[in-house]
Amino acid sequence: MVRRLSRWAVTVPLALTLAAGLSGCGSSDPAAPAASAPAGDGATTLTVFAAASLTGTFTELGKTFETAHPGTSVKFNFGSSATLAQQIVQGAPADVFAAASPATMKTVTDASLATGPATFVRNKLQIAVPTDNPAKVDELKDLAGPKVKVALCAPQVPCGAAAAKALEAAGLKVTPVTLEQDVKATLTKVELGEVDAALVYKTDVLAAADKVKGIAFPEADKAINDYPIASLSKAPAPELAKQFVGLVVSPEGTAVLTKAGFEAP
């Protein structure tokens, strides 16, 4: 069963570590390999930290992986790539990291916690507006209007960095009413009608189906994000980690991702 982890992604691994400690064979280190050791029923946990924009596709790939590896449970921690990278550096136990930008992956590789990340997809921005588009937003420059309420990802988040790059390419200054910590939270502001528009990934607009309307804009081509993935050097389940990365970069994985609107690298 695939399910989402908590923000620090340590609840299940820590519980397993404590259980192991009570039996005299565990460790008090929350990042210790015992966190993903086989459970009592022989099952193994694979923990994947992934950018929020990968929620739908990776959940699907996680189910595929579980089917191909009976007894393995894939658990995800989806969120801001910047936050996930910091969690990994600070010792949160994980097997795989899939980031929404090379810069956030670099945080992990610079700490010698991953090597040889592979770019597996690319993503670009769209303007997301409510289906009735009350502010009549048609193009990027409309976001600079004084009465238009705009949501952006925080600048340290990959979607926020991409938005800043796109706005700079257009020579626009936009003052957002809110800065969100990941792309899903940013899009939710549009879905709830709390803002008139947001800059989010095309894939998130497609995933929202009829809840929002997406507007393409040319400057998005100057702010495309590459998505790297890597198995982690301290992975509690290193072989499974490599196999999951292999699935993601395989033709089967690419088909799932491109169907969702991602672009091949």
Domains in the chain and their CATH numbers? Answer: 3-122+227-259 (3.40.190.10), 125-222 (3.40.190.10)
Residue by residue, DSSP assigns the chain as: --EE--TT--HHHHHHHHHHHHTTS--S-TTSGGGGS--TTS-EEEEEEEEGGGHHHHHHHHHHHHHHSTTEEEEEEEE-HHHHHHHHHTT---SEEE-SSHHHHHHHHHTTSB-S-EEEEEE-EEEEEETT-TT---SGGGGGSTT--EEEE-TTSHHHHHHHHHHHHHT-----SEEESSHHHHHHHHHTTSSSEEEEEHHHHHHTGGGEEEE--GGGGGSPEEEEEEEBTT-SSHHHHHHHHHHHHSHHHHHHHHHTT-B--
Percent of the chain clearing pLDDT 90 (strictly above): 83
Candidate from 25-29, 111-115, 173-177, 244-248 with smallest mean pLDDT: 25-29
Q: What is residue 197's predicted lDDT score, i.e. its pLDDT?
A: 98
Q: What is residue 35's predicted lDDT score, i.e. its pLDDT?
A: 38
pLDDT band at 43 (very low <50, low <70, confident <90, very high): low
- pTM of the predicted model as reported, rounded to 2 decimal places: 0.81
Mean pLDDT of 208-235: 96
- Whether residue 219 is predicted with pLDDT greater than 60 in this model: the reply is yes
Q: What is residue 5's predicted lDDT score, i.e. its pLDDT?
A: 40
Q: What is residue 40's predicted lDDT score, i.e. its pLDDT?
A: 33
